[in-house]
Structure 1
Amino acid sequence: MGEAARRKAAIEALKTRNVLWLASLSPVEHLIANAAQRAYDGIVIGLGMTEGCYHLAFFLREYMRLQHSIELDVIVGWVNDGQWDGATSHAWLEYEGKKIDISLHRTSHPDAQPPGDLVVLDHVIRKGAVTYQYWVVLPERARLALEQMEEDSPELSALIRKKADEHKRMVEFSKSPNGAAEYLSQAPSEGSYTALLRRM
Structure 2
Amino acid sequence: MGQAKQKAAAMSKWMDGLSNEEKIVHRVARDLFDKVIKPRNFTGMCYHSVFFLNEYLREKHGIATLPVIGYVNDGTDDIMMSHAWLDFGGRKTDVSLAVTEHPDVSPAGELIVLDKVIKVGHKYSYHHDMGAAGLRALQSIQASGGQAIVEHKLQEHLLMDARDKDPALIRPYLDAEPNGFDYLKIVKLIEA
- TM-score category, normalised to shorter length: over 0.9
Shift in CA distance, 151/10, structure 1 to aligned 2, threshold 3 Å: farther
Q: CA deviation at 1:13?
A: 2.7
Q: Distance in 2 between matches of 1:189 and 1:115?
A: 22
Structure 1 letter corresponding to 2:153? K
Aligned partner (choices 141, 152, 177) of residue 187 of structure 1: 177
Q: CA deviation at 1:194?
A: 0.8
Q: Deviations over 1:6-51 (max 9, x none)?
A: xx94433322221111010000100110000101011111322111
Q: Distance in 2 between matches of 1:150 and 1:51?
A: 22
Q: TM-score, normalised by structure 2?
A: 0.94
Structure 1 letter corresponding to 2:149? L
Partner of 1:32: 25
Q: Deviations over 1:133-162 (max 9, x none)?
A: 00011111011111111101x2x2210110
1:73 aligns with 2:66: yes
Q: Distance in 1 between matches of 2:132 and 2:7?
A: 36
Aligned partner (choices 109, 112, 118) of residue 111 of structure 2: 118
1:159 aligns with 2:149: yes
Identity %: 33
Q: Distance in 1 between matches of 2:154 and 2:10?
A: 39
Structure 2 spans left out of the alignment, 5+ residues: none
Aligned partner (choices 81, 86, 109) of residue 102 of structure 2: 109
Give the aligned length: 190
Q: How does 1:47-58 map to 2 (within 5 A)?
A: 47-58=40-51
Q: Distance in 2 between matches of 1:12 and 1:89?
A: 37
Whether the aligned pair in 2 keeps the contact of 1:33 and 1:121 (CA below 8 Å) is: yes
Q: TM-score, normalised by structure 1?
A: 0.91
Aligned partner (choices 148, 160, 170) of residue 160 of structure 2: 170
Q: CA deviation at 1:188?
A: 2.5
Structure 1 letter corresponding to 2:132? E
Structure 1 spans left out of the alignment, 5+ residues: 1-7
1:131 aligns with 2:131: no
Partner of 2:8: 15
Q: Distance in 2 between matches of 1:14 and 1:103?
A: 22
Q: Distance in 2 between matches of 1:24 and 1:103?
A: 25
Whether the aligned pair in 2 keeps the contact of 1:190 and 1:196 (CA below 8 Å) is: no
Q: Distance in 2 between matches of 1:51 and 1:164?
A: 15
Q: Distance in 1 between matches of 2:109 and 2:4?
A: 18
